[in-house]
Chain A
Amino acid sequence: MTVYCLVELDAGTVADASLRALTMARGLASARGADVAAVVFGEAASVPVAELAAYGVMNAYAVAVDGYAPQAWARAIAELPNLAGSLGEGASSWVKTDTGLAVLTHDHEGEAGPAVLAAGTDHGNEVLAHVGAIAGLPVAANCVAAAPAPGGGLELVRQRWAGLLLEDAVLDAPVALLTVATDAVAAVPADSPGPVTVHEVKPELSAGDLVVRAEEAPAAAGGASLATARVVVGGGRGVGSADGFAPLEELASLLGGVVGVSRVVTSEGWRPHAQQVGQTGTKITPDLYLACGISGAIQHIAGCAGARHIVAINTDPAAPMMARADYALIGDLHQVLPALIEALRAR
């Protein structure tokens, strides 16, 4: 049965997190002898067909919903032609126990049903949670691996504690709903891309599905977003003050990146929380994370473990971030950063 994947677009191309989700979707599909279908919200003309083909997609559903409305997106997915039977409202039955608790039951004979995947982004997790709530089915958030289990269902590995722990789990449901960790699965194109057929879908939505919809505006900070930046210059307590961030900003703009910070920095009020990297901030997946004056607490690592390369600058050679990094420079960031900026400008 088909493995569907919600594909988010970033300035017209497939978002990095969705490429990772597509990679897992393809792995799961080939293990089950199934095909991959992409679900894209937008006009048929906006579907990035070549990119989807490169990731092994055979069918793409272009769903016409105006803007971001999570419940409407979920409803549209639940009512895709081949999913409606197994995902529509009331597809599974609830049993009231004597304690008043609703328990899910369904009968399936061990055959593999369809699956719906999405990236473990704010949108992906949100939309799939709505699908799960509409259909009364479980959702496994932030998976890093999925494979058919002997006897039906899926064997999963998913992140807990923002990735500090992994959970081995079994998912037993008529439709498997999962999101894919944004920092743990690599995006790998398919060996043999084929043609993609695009289907236009106009979902029937109730007024209730559209009550909650996003009014969108460019974010105040304006710049590139932390979650998708290719270079992040990180600053921690070692930066010392709000003013101390000037060289980090300058370096970030020289490298075409953005500034990210530790929780100490946001709770001191030096920088807005939107720039926090970590368990309760943003997860980043840059090519380079340049961590300056950050000790590398476990909750900070939860946010930057997906960086391809880490360079740490710290006065303390024993700071955990220095061991975690690929390259470590022992020194005072207040001296090193101006010298680095000067050297880069002189190139």
Chain B
Amino acid sequence: MIPKTKSLVLSMGLAALLAGCAHPSSSKEQDHGIANGKMESMLHSRSDSPVHTIVMPHDEPVFPPGSGRDEFVTACVVCHSPRYITMQPRFSRTTWLSEVKKMKDVYGAHISDEQVLKITDYLVSINGQTGTGQGPKGTYGE
């Protein structure tokens, strides 16, 4: 299974993730009556109740060891599920690099240029094409 060092890093990644979970904008919650995180009425909120609540399922894939995995877990999974990677076809390095750069430059992911390259390496290793294909560059909002 996962070597000890990887487990440790995984825990760190999860800690970052937890911060992400707690995030959903608290000012907005007050403004609009969202009460994120109330467990009690969640499973049985009745249709005539003024408070309508759901519990989102949470069961995300854990990624295999590899160079760049640590950066991937801490930087990417804060904002979205790893399924954003696994649902894609095997893209070329060009395409993956473009996607990772977009996360940094457009969405403000907290990663250095060096980490961009490491994450790209990792994505290519788990879901990329070998060789130097010139796949399409990603765009926005897709």
To the question of whether A and B form a pair in one complex, the answer is no
